[in-house]
């Protein structure tokens, strides 16, 4: 999914949000229950950009015109190096309706969980504000 990759790499979070379906389901690498909806998913992705350092995509797996894509990445959280994968599924209109993130190693996932936990009040507030603007 070239548009998603380009938007993430450009730190254009408005463009990332525009690629999300209203009913997108986000599955976190560190929380059991998935998150539902564009507002919370976009807010989580904004939070991730605040905690990931030296983020870069290494490769993309999947057919260019297919509905399923895997974007393999590396990043750092503090002194922890992580590698991971964004698994994307596109709906019939080309919007992302499923986004699952996987990360490794365990120490990196734990660092991500702690960093995102520290962001969660801000993430929840951003999601509420976005829902208020969209009327949802």
Distance CA 90, CA 66 (A): 8
Distance CA 23, CA 41 (A): 10
What CATH number corresponds to the domain at position 25? 3.10.450.50
Q: pLDDT by residue (tens digit) across 42-61?
A: 999 999 999 999 999 999 99
Q: Can you give the residue range of the structural domain that contains 76?
A: 2-134
Q: pLDDT by residue (tens digit) across 69-100?
A: 999 999 999 999 999 999 999 999 999 999 99
Cite the DSSP H helix spans in 1-136.
Answer: 2-9, 13-18, 38-51, 106-134
Give this prediction's pTM: 0.91
The CB-side HSE value for 85 (13 A sphere, CA atoms) comes to 11
For the chain, the domain total comes to 1
132 CB-near residues (< 8 Å, 6+ apart): none
53 bridge partner residues: 76
Q: pLDDT by residue (tens digit) across 97-120?
A: 999 999 999 999 999 999 999 988
CA-to-CA dists, residue 26 to 32, 33, 38, 102, angstroms: 11, 9, 9, 11
């Amino acid at each position: 999914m070239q548009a998603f990759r380009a938007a993430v790499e450009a730190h254009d979070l408005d463009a990332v949000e525009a690629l999300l379906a209203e009913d997108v389901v986000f599955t976190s690498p560190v929380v059991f229950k998935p998150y539902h909806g564009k507002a919370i998913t976009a807010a989580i992705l904004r939070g991730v950009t605040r905690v990931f350092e030296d983020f870069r995509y290494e490769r993309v797996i999947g057919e260019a015109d297919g509905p399923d894509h895997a974007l393999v990445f590396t990043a750092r959280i503090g002194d922890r190096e992580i590698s991971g994968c964004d698994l994307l599924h596109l709906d019939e209109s080309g919007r992302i309706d499923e986004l699952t993130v996987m990360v490794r190693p365990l120490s990196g996932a734990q660092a991500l969980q702690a960093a995102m936990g520290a962001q969660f009040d801000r993430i929840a507030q951003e999601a509420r504000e976005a829902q208020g603007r969209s009327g949802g």
